[in-house]
Structures are given as structure tokens and as C-alpha cells.
């Protein structure tokens, strides 16, 4: 499936469909709540979380504000360590570079480490067109790939699938790609994982080319870092002769020491572990150990356009921990597919319309895929003020204004044909049609009143130009109702607001 997602329905339509899928909603609810509770405990273990978060934010801001400087340092360091650096202005160029590099090895298949950047640019599809098979080796990505499906979560891309579905996919599809699923495969997770182990091991042992992304790149030393759990990453990073890493330019951090901040923030925020099972760090090439040829493809693809927006720039601090997805009441109901890009959830709602622009109806609708409850900001380990950027982008969709597209400063017009109003109204209808969601949104809104504008951004602005927007009450109407009259309504879930 192409990442440009031509014909993808706009967020509200897609969300309306996924919220009717009760199995999906149950899977999602279970998963997001489990991860978020565990995460709170893991974060609670560190008494200096607030300081680490402030440092993480500052390191990323320093990097972004002097990105040219750090990219040049990085290029020097990687080259000095025996790597080759390539620059890609957009997705098409990155895909061309990788295709050329794979072709030069004479190989027709590659093994891949889970990577958001290569999903964003649609690398697998580009390689397939060139006759090269790209095998995803992360268990969840394998499930998604075999199921001819799309990922729906940053951390657990197959979160929308349950064990019985996974067994069916393995049984019917594995044989087409390599070693078939064992006879009589059950839906026990341990058996499913074993089937994946056997299926992929033959690929790892013969692979000559590996493709990865990276969680961090250290400008000072040229070191790349990949954080993972299963060991498929280590396989792809060390067994092949050639390694190609496609990495967004915002992933650079200035110094070796800076890793001490992110290696504490990322695992606890992401998988809720003190440390993830495996972290690999490599600097160029090492004689006799690991790939002897290393290519780093530095990817822009809308990142410099995002950088040019002084409000939206902060989205580039993201370390893809996925914590914001797990706390988002909209994501929990809508699922990841509704966002129509590699980046779902709150971060997707601000990153995608910046990377791609807001010309399509889907991208224009994404800034409305939120109740502005503020939970994503509170949980974000690098303190990205997602609600602030959402409001900013809504304004851009509705009023147009100065933006940078493809490196060129330009002025966009307000969204055509009332597309924005439609997007907003449908998003509003989506929320208001679901009492639980509205309740969660309102209650949190009450707690985060300081974040809320006195005038509605976006399509509401004309209306509030002549009227004062009533302030968000300290207690939401529903909380008040629950407190004073709660329990009278049959079936109303009792939520303590006392």
C-alpha cells in the first residue's frame, strides 16, 4: 500500500468506520491501557524524570536550531569511520538511492529492521517495482506484511490483530514468502513467535543486504543507534555484508553524552521497560565484525519545511516512543489506520500535515483529529506541545498563510470548497456522536484550561469574532451531572468526579 494513500478517506470517515469495529476497539483499548499503566510505573522509578525531559527537549532544540552544523559534523564523522553518506531531498530520491545501492550488490532480496522512515517513503513498494524483495523482520511488521496490511501503531504495528488472526495469516501466507508455518500451528503466542523465528532465520543467515533506520545518530562520533527487543535488528545490522540505513535528518544528536538522556527517556516511555532488550550502536564499519559496507541515506522529505515553521518545528523533537498514542482518547477509538500515514495518533496529527502539506482532504482533516485534551503533551518525553501545534495547524488549514513547501516559501490559500469546515464538522460529529469520548475530552479540557484559546481557531473563528467563546468550565457539565445526579441514568457508567 502506497504511503501517499491516494484515495484514503479523510480522518473522520476512516475513524467512523474503525470505531464501528468493536473487536478492533477492544484490542486497542486493552493494549493502550496496558502499556500506559506500565509506563507510568517505569517513569515513576526515576525521580529526575522532569529534569531528563527538560534536557531531552533542550538537546533536540539545540540540534534543530543548528541542524546544518550537526549534519555536517555527522557526515564528516561517518565518512571518517568508513561509511558513505547520501542525501535525499524527498521520498523518490531516497528510494532511487537505495534501489541503486541494492542493485550494485547484485542482490535481489534484503532484510529490514522496523523503520518508520522507510515506511514513510514507501521503500518496500519502490524496491518491489525494481524487482527486489524486502523482508520485514520485526514480528509485528512481518504480521502486517504477510497480511498485506498497514501498521496501526508506532511501537506495536499489529496491535489491531489478535492471535487467531495472526495464526491464520501465518498459515496461509508464510509459504509464499519462504519457510511455511509448521503443521498444526496453534494461536499460542509462544508458538507463533517460534514460527516467525524459523521462517526468518533462513532469511537472516543468507541475507547479503540489510536495511534499517536509526533511533539516534551522534554528530560528534558518527555513531548510529538502533533500539529493539527481538534481535531481528541485531541480525540485520550485523550479518549482511552491506548495510543501508535511511534516517530522517532530525534524528541527529550532538554528542555521545547526549545518549545518556535519550537512553533513559526512550525505553521507559515506549515499552515501559527500564531498558529494552537490545540496543545496537555502530560507527562506520569495523574490520571483520559486521557489514563491511555501510551507507547512510539522510532523508529530508518535508523535514526542512517543518523546520521552517517556528511553531510546528517542535514536532521534529519526536523520538517515536508512541506514548502519546497510548493516552489519546481519539486514537484509542479510531485506531492507527484512520490517520492515513506511517505516523498515527497525536504525533501523526501534527507531523503528517507538516511533512506532506495540507493540500489533501485527509491531511487537512488531521489537525482536527483531537479533542485538545492535552494528555499527549503531558506524557511526551521531549515535551512537544502537541495541542499548541494542532491549533496552529487548524488555523493554517482555514486561513491559509505563509508556509514552506519543497524548500520554497509560498502562501497557501484557505482550504478550498469549505473542505476545512467539512473536516472540522465531521471530526466534531465524530466526537460528539460518542459520549465516552466527549466526556474524556471535556473532563481533560477542564483540567487544561490554560491551553485553550479564547477564540476558536479554524472554522469557528468567524463565529467567535462576534461572540465570546464561553470559557471552559472548571468542571465539565458531564462531571457535574455525574457528581450531582450520577447513577440515575441506567447504563451510565459511574465515573467518580467527587
Partner 1 sequence: MSSRDVVLARVRRALTDVPRAAGPEETAVPRDYLRAHGDRSAEDTARLLAENLADYRAVVHDTHAAGLPGLLAHLLGERGSRSVVVPPGLPPEWLADCDIEVVPDAPETTPDALDAIDSVVTGCAVAIAETGTIVLDAGPDQGRRRITLVPDHHICVVRVPEQVVASVPQALARLAPGHPLTWISGPSATSDIELDRVEGVHGPRTLEVVLMTP
* Residues 361 to 380 in contact with ligand SF4, rule: CB under 6 A: 379-380
Q: How far is the CB of 246 from ligand SF4 (least distance, A)?
A: 19
**Using rule CB under 6 A, residue 52 touches ligand SF4:** no
Query: To which residue does cell 490554560 refer?
Result: 450
**φ and ψ of 232, to 5 deg:** -65, -35
Contact flag: residue 276 with partner 1 (CB under 8 A): yes
| Residue 368 interacting partner from partner 1, ligand SF4, none (CB closer than 5 to 8 Å by kind) | none
Q: Is 38 helix (H, G, I), strand (E, B) or coil?
A: helix
Query: Closest distance between ligand SF4 and the C-beta of residue 179, in Å?
Result: 34
What residues from 51 to 70 belong to the interface with partner 1 (CB under 8 A)? Answer: 51-52, 54-55, 58-59, 61-63, 65-70
Q: What share of the chain is helix, strand, coil (3-state, %, to 5)?
A: 55, 10, 35
Q: Quick one: 207 or 323, whose CB is closer to ligand SF4?
A: 323
Closer to partner 1 by CB, 72 or 129: give it: 72
Q: Give which of partner 1, ligand SF4, none residue 48 binds (C-beta under 5 to 8 Å, depending on kind).
A: partner 1
Instruction: Rule CB under 8 A: say whether 166 interacts with partner 1.
Output: yes
> Helix, strand, or coil here: 27?
helix
Triad 201, 202, 204: Cα angle to 5°: 60
Within 267-296, the residues that bind ligand SF4 by CB under 6 A are none
Window 292-321: contact mask with ligand SF4 (x via CB under 6 A): --------------------------xxxx
Q: Is residue 308 within the footprint of partner 1 (CB under 8 A)?
A: yes
Q: Which is nearer to partner 1, 71 or 398 (CB)?
A: 71
Kindly indicate which of the ranges 198-206, 328-336, 417-425, 481-489 contains the residues binding partner 1, using the contact rule CB under 8 A.
198-206
Nearest to residue 6, comparing CAs of 341, 381, 413?
Answer: 341
CB of 127 or CB of 379, closer to ligand SF4 = 379
Residue 67 binding result from ligand SF4, partner 1, none, given CB thresholds of 5 to 8 Å by partner type: partner 1
Which residues in 80-142 belong to E strands, given as ranges? 84-88, 109-112, 133-136
Any contact of residue 99 with partner 1 (CB under 8 A)?
no
Q: Please select the residue that binds partner 1; options are 213, 290, 357, 486, rule is CB under 8 A.
A: 290
* Binding status of residue 293 toward partner 1 by CB under 8 A: no
Q: Rounded to whole angstroms, what are the CA distances from 230 to 83, 140, 218?
A: 26, 11, 24
* Residue (203 or 478) nearer to partner 1, CB: 203
Task: Return the sign of the alpha-carbon dihedral for residues 118, 311, 9, 399.
Answer: negative
Specify the long-range contacts of residues 85-90, CB closer than 8 Å, at least 24 apart: 85/295, 85/296, 85/298, 86/295, 86/296, 86/297, 86/298, 87/297, 87/298, 87/300, 88/246, 88/297, 88/298, 88/299, 88/300, 88/301, 89/300, 89/301, 89/407, 90/300, 90/301, 90/302, 90/406
Q: What is the DSSP string of 158-214?
A: TTT--HHHHHHHHHHHHHHHSSPPPTT--S-HHHHHHHHHHHHHHHHHH--EEEE--
**Residue 443 near residue 482 (C-beta atoms within 8 A):** no
Name the 3-class secondary structure at 472. Answer: coil
The interface partner of residue 361, options being partner 1, ligand SF4, none and the CB cut-off 5 to 8 Å by kind, is none
What phi and psi, each to the nearest 5 degrees, are found at residue 19? Answer: -70, -20
Binding partner 1 (rule: CB under 8 A), the pick from 18, 19, 145, 223 is: 223
Cell triple for residue 484? Answer: 450531582
Give which of partner 1, ligand SF4, none residue 95 binds (C-beta under 5 to 8 Å, depending on kind): none
Residue 212 and residue 235: Cα distance in Å, rounded? 11
Kindly state whether residue 305 participates in binding partner 1, applying the rule CB under 8 A. Answer: yes
Q: Under the criterion CB under 8 A, does residue 87 sit at the interface with partner 1?
A: yes
Among 10, 35, 355, 390, binds partner 1 (CB under 8 A): 35
Q: CB–CB of 5/340 below 8 Å?
A: yes
Binders of partner 1 among residues 317 to 346 (CB under 8 A) are none
Q: Which is nearer to ligand SF4, 371 or 476 (CB)?
A: 371
Measuring CA to CA, how many Å separate 171 from each of 90, 157, 184, 188, 195?
38, 20, 9, 13, 10
> According to the binding rule CB under 6 A, does residue 64 interact with ligand SF4?
no
Query: Segment 138-167, which members bind ligand SF4 (CB under 6 A)?
Result: none
**Which H or E element spans position 381?**
none
Residue 25 CA: distances (Å) to CA of 53, 418, 439:
31, 31, 17
Does an H or E element contain 293, and which? strand 293-299
323 binds, among ligand SF4, partner 1, none (CB under 5 to 8 A by kind): ligand SF4
Span 356-415, contacts to partner 1 by CB under 8 A: 404, 407, 409
Footprint (CB under 8 A) of partner 1, residues 450-469: none
Query: Residue 260 binds what, of ligand SF4, partner 1, none (CB under 5 to 8 Å, by partner type)?
Result: partner 1
For ligand SF4, the binding residues in 380-399 under the rule CB under 6 A are 380-382, 384
Most distant pair of Cα atoms in the chain: their distance: 73
x-or-dash pattern for ligand SF4, window 330-359, by CB under 6 A?
-----------------x------------
CB of 382 to ligand SF4, least distance (A): 5
Report the interface residues with ligand SF4, using CB under 6 A: 318-324, 347, 379-382, 384
Amino acid at each position: 500500500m502506497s504511503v501517499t494513500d491516494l484515495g484514503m478517506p479523510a480522518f473522520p470517515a476512516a475513524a467512523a468506520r474503525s470505531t464501528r469495529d468493536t473487536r478492533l476497539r477492544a484490542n486497542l483499548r486493552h493494549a493502550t491501557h496496558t502499556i500506559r499503566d506500565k509506563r507510568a510505573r517505569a517513569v515513576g522509578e526515576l525521580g529526575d524524570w522532569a529534569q531528563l525531559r527538560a534536557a531531552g527537549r533542550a538537546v533536540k532544540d539545540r540540534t534543530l536550531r543548528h541542524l546544518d552544523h550537526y549534519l555536517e559534523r555527522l557526515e564528516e564523522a561517518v565518512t571518517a569511520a568508513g561509511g558513505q553518506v547520501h542525501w535525499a531531498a524527498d521520498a523518490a530520491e531516497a528510494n532511487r538511492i537505495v534501489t541503486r545501492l541494492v542493485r550494485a550488490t547484485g542482490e535481489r532480496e534484503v532484510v529490514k529492521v522496523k523503520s518508520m522512515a522507510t515506511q514513510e517513503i514507501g521503500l518496500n513498494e519502490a524496491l518491489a517495482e525494481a524487482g527486489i524483495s524486502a523482508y520485514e523482520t520485526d514480528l509485528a511488521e512481518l504480521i502486517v506484511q504477510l497480511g498485506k496490511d498497514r501498521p496501526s501503531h508506532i511501537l506495536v504495528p499489529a496491535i489491531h490483530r489478535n492471535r487467531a488472526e495472526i495464526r491464520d495469516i501465518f498459515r496461509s501466507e508464510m509459504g509464499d514468502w519462504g519457510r511455511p508455518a509448521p503443521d498444526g500451528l496453534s494461536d499460542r503466542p509462544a508458538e507463533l513467535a517460534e514460527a516467525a523465528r524459523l521462517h526468518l532465520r533462513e532469511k537472516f543467515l543468507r541475507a547479503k543486504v540489510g536495511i534499517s533506520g536509526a533511533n539516534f545518530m551522534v554528530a560528534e562520533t558518527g555513531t548510529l543507534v538502533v533500539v529493539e527487543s527481538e534481535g531481528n535488528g541485531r541480525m540485520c545490522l550485523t550479518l549482511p555484508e552491506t548495510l543501508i540505513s535511511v534516517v530522517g535528518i532530525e534524528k541527529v544528536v550532538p554528542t555521545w553524552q547526549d545518549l545518556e538522556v535519550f537512553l533513559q527517556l526512550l525505553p521507559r516511555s515506549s515499552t515501559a521497560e527500564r531498558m529494552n532488550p537490545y540496543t545496537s550502536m555502530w560507527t562506520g564499519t569495523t574490520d571483520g565484525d559486521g557489514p563491511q559496507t555501510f551507507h547512510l541515506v539522510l532523508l529530508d522529505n518535508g523535514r526542512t519545511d517543518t523546520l521552517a515553521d517556528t511553531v510546528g518545528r517542535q514536532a521534529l523533537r519526536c523520538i517515536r516512543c508512541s506514548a502519546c498514542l497510548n493516552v489519546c482518547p481519539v486514537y484509542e477509538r479510531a485506531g492507527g489506520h484512520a490517520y492515513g500515514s506511517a505516523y498515527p495518533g497525536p504525533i501523526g496529527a501534527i507531523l503528517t500535515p507538516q511533512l506532506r502539506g495540507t493540500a489533501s482532504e485527509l491531511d487537512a482533516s488531521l489537525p482536527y483529529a483531537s479533542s485538545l485534551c492535552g494528555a499527549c503533551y503531558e506524557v511526551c518525553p521531549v515535551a512537544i506541545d502537541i495541542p499548541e501545534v494542532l491549533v496552529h495547524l487548524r488555523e493554517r488549514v482555514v486561513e491559509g498563510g505563509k508556509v514552506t513547501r519543497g524548500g520554497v516559501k509560498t502562501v497557501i490559500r484557505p482550504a478550498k470548497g469549505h473542505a476545512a469546515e467539512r473536516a472540522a464538522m465531521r471530526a466534531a460529529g465524530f466526537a460528539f456522536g460518542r459520549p465516552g469520548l466527549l466526556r474524556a475530552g471535556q473532563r481533560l479540557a477542564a483540567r487544561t484550561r490554560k491551553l485553550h484559546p479564547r477564540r476558536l481557531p479554524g472554522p469557528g473563528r468567524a463565529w467567535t469574532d462576534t461572540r465570546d467563546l464561553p470559557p471552559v468550565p472548571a468542571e465539565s457539565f458531564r462531571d457535574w451531572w455525574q457528581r450531582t445526579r450520577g447513577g440515575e441514568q441506567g447504563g451510565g457508567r459511574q465515573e467518580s468526579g467527587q
